[in-house]
Amino acid sequence: MQSSPHIKILSAGAVKPGLLAVLAAFREESRREATVSFSTAPEIGERIRGGRAFDVVIAPPGVLDELTASGHLLRNDRIAIGRIGVGMLVRGGAPLPKIDGVEDFKQAVKSAEALVYNQASTGIYLSTLFERLGIGADLKSKSIRYPDFAGVLDHIRRGSFRELGFGATTVIIENTRRGVQFVGPLPDEIQNYTNYAAAVIERDNNDAAEFVRYLASDRAKSIFKSAGIT
C-alpha cells in the first residue's frame, strides 16, 4: 500500500472531543489532511473486517487485539491515548441526584423513572454492574438502550426530569450545552475506565504512522487531557 496524503481514521466515539481538536492541530502543523469516522467499539471491528478502507484505527486494546489476530491489523506498534470513565447525565434543569458513594448511586438508579444507556462498552459495563450490585432484576424493566450515545443524548434532553442517562464522561461534558447536565462520574468504587489506543492498519503507510506518532506528542497529550482523556 502506497502512502497517501489523505489519512482516513476510524475511531471509537468516546475520544471524539479530544480527537477532533488533535486533528485540527495536526493539520495546522503538518499541512496534511486527515478525516475521521466514529463508531462504537463493536462496530469498529465489523467495519474493518468488512473491507472498509481506513489508515488508522483508534479503539480499546481488546478490539485491536482481535483485529491483529484476524490479520486485519498488520502493524503491531500502538500508541496509548488514555482512559475514559463512565458518567451520569440528566435533562437540563432537572435536580441532580446524589451519587457520591455506592449506596447513593444505588438509591438514585432505583428511584429513577428510566435508565438510558448505550449497547456499546458503557452499556455492557452497566448491565454487569447492576447485577453485581444486586439490583439488575429491579432495573431491567426500566432500562432503555440505544446503539450509541447520540440516542441517549436525544432521549435525555427530550425526556422527563426523573430519567438518568449514562455515557463516557468526555461526550457528556461535550454536550452540556445541548439540553443536558453532567451529574458526575460514577463513584470511585464502581467506576470503570476504558483505555484507548491508536494503530496503523497497513505496514507501509508512512503518513498514517506519522499521525499516530503525533498522538504521543506533548501538544496532543495536553489536548486529550483537557478533554478528560487521562
pLDDT tens digits along 117-155: 999 889 999 999 999 999 999 999 999 999 999 999 999
**Element spanning 82, H or E:** strand 78-84
What is the pTM (predicted TM-score) of this model? Answer: 0.86
Q: Distance between CA atoms of 168 and 88, rounded to whole angstroms?
A: 9
Beta bridge partners, 20, equal none
- Contact by Cβ (8 Å): 178, 50: no
Average pLDDT over residues 31-43: 92
Cα separation, 219 vs 164, whole angstroms: 35
Helix (H, G, I), strand (E, B) or coil at 213: helix
195 contacts 60 by C-beta, under 8 angstroms = yes
Query: What is the length of the chain?
Result: 230
- Quick check: 47 pLDDT over 90? yes
The second-level CATH assignment, the architecture, of 6-83+196-226 is 3-Layer(aba) Sandwich (3.40)
CB-based burial of residue 185 (10 Å sphere; 0-12 exposed, 13-18 middle, 19+ buried)?
Answer: middle
pLDDT tens across 84-111, in order?
A: 999 999 999 999 999 999 999 999 999 9
Q: What is the pLDDT of residues 165-176, one digit of tens each?
A: 999 999 999 999
Higher pLDDT, 75 or 81: 81
| Domain 6-83+196-226 shares a fold with domain 86-190 | yes
CB atoms within 10 A of CB 28: 9
Percent of the chain whose pLDDT exceeds 70? 98
3-class secondary structure, 168? strand
Tell me the percentage of the chain whose pLDDT exceeds 90.
90
- Where do the structural domains in the chain lie, given as residue ranges? 6-83+196-226, 86-190
Contact 74, 202 (CB under 8 A): yes
pLDDT surpassing 80 at residue 3: no
The distance from CA 141 to its chain's CA centroid, rounded to whole angstroms, is 26
**Which CA distances in Å does 114 have to 86, 145, 181, 213?**
18, 10, 16, 43
Model confidence at 1: pLDDT above 60: no
Average pLDDT, the chain: 94
Q: Domain spanning 86-190: which superfamily?
A: Periplasmic binding protein-like II (3.40.190.10)
- The 3-state DSSP class for residue 43 equals helix
Closest CA to 182 of 192, 193, 167: 167
